[in-house]
Amino acid sequence: MSVFQEDEQRLRCVLPFEAAPAELQLLRKAVKRNLELWGAQSVADEVGLVATELATNVIKHVGEGAAATLVLEPRDDRLRVEVHDKSHALPALRAMCGEADCGRGLHLLASMCEEWGTLLTATGKAVWCELSLEPARHCMRVRRAAMVLEEYRRAAGANSAVVPTFAVLEESVTDVIADLLHWLVAQGGDPDEMLDRAQMHFEAQADAA
């Protein structure tokens, strides 16, 4: 289950999970679903791989069945990925190792991410990394729209514990546009003119991308 949190500037998604092999595919699907909602599907496979590697490290070094949490947070031109667990033992990147897969997850982080690190928390530790959102920069407007839709759904009384499907969000888009047109008419504006202008802006931005 994902939990959306927002402040005035950022989206944030929190995904509690159980560190178990059977959970990895579900975790990857949840990552993909949330990035699609944010308009960052172009980096979904890369982020999903990093997330499952971090979760695999929890299984190996903390224990199968351990409670853990994945946090996704867009920050300007990067996506921060964190995995929290309840162990205070910090991982170390080794250049050489006796086992074939030893340190594989950390080496993957070092090769794929802009930055990565670890930090101790009140309840354990977090391993974090930041991936470039450059492939999804043109989708920044989509991320802002996702925030608007989440806020609109809350204002409309939608259940915040339910992860919205595309069909649900698509219906919300229609409602948002209709409400904006009602507001425009109440202010004396012309809805047809506004729709034409919005279409022109959309096409210009799509061509620029």
- Scan for tokens 């205070």, then name that residue: 88
Residues 121 and 154 in one domain: no
pLDDT band at 108 (very low <50, low <70, confident <90, very high): low
Residues 191 and 153 in one domain: yes
Q: Looking at residues 74-84, what average pLDDT do you find?
A: 90
Residues 82 and 52 in one domain: yes
pTM above 0.75?
A: no
pLDDT band at 145 (very low <50, low <70, confident <90, very high): confident
Residues 51 and 82 in one domain: yes
Residues 97 and 70 in one domain: yes
Percent of the chain with pLDDT over 90: 40
- Whole-angstrom distance, CA of residue 137 vs CA of residue 182: 32
What is the domain count for the chain?
A: 2
Residues 128 and 101 in one domain: yes
Residues 71 and 106 in one domain: yes
CB proximity list for 163: less than 8 A, separation 6 or greater = 1, 2, 33
Burial 114-147 (b: 16+ CB within 10 A, else e): eebeeeeeeebbbbbbbbebeebeebbeebebbb
Task: Tell me phi and psi for residue 59, to 5 degrees.
Answer: -60, -45
- Whole-angstrom distance, CA of residue 142 vs CA of residue 75: 15
pLDDT confidence of residue 206: 67
The residue among 134, 169, 186 that closes a domain is 134
Residues 41 and 122 in one domain: yes
Task: Tell me phi and psi for residue 130, to 5 degrees.
Answer: -130, 125
- Whole-angstrom distance, CA of residue 92 vs CA of residue 63: 17
CA nearest to 38, candidates 139, 162, 133, 131: 139
pLDDT confidence of residue 13: 92
- Whole-angstrom distance, CA of residue 190 vs CA of residue 174: 18
pLDDT confidence of residue 120: 93
β-bridge mates for residue 78, sequence order: 75, 132
Average pLDDT of the chain to the nearest whole number = 81
Residue 87 reports pLDDT greater than 90 = yes
- Domain containing 62 — which CATH number? 3.30.565.10
Residues 40 and 99 in one domain: yes
- Scan for tokens 């919300």, then name that residue: 172
pLDDT band at 39 (very low <50, low <70, confident <90, very high): confident
The residue among 72, 107, 134 that closes a domain is 134
Asked whether the beta carbons of 138 and 209 are under 8 A apart, the reply is: yes
Q: How far is CA 187 from CA 6, 83, 166, 191, 198, in A?
A: 30, 48, 32, 11, 18
Residues 75 and 12 in one domain: yes
- Domain span at residue 22 reads 3-134
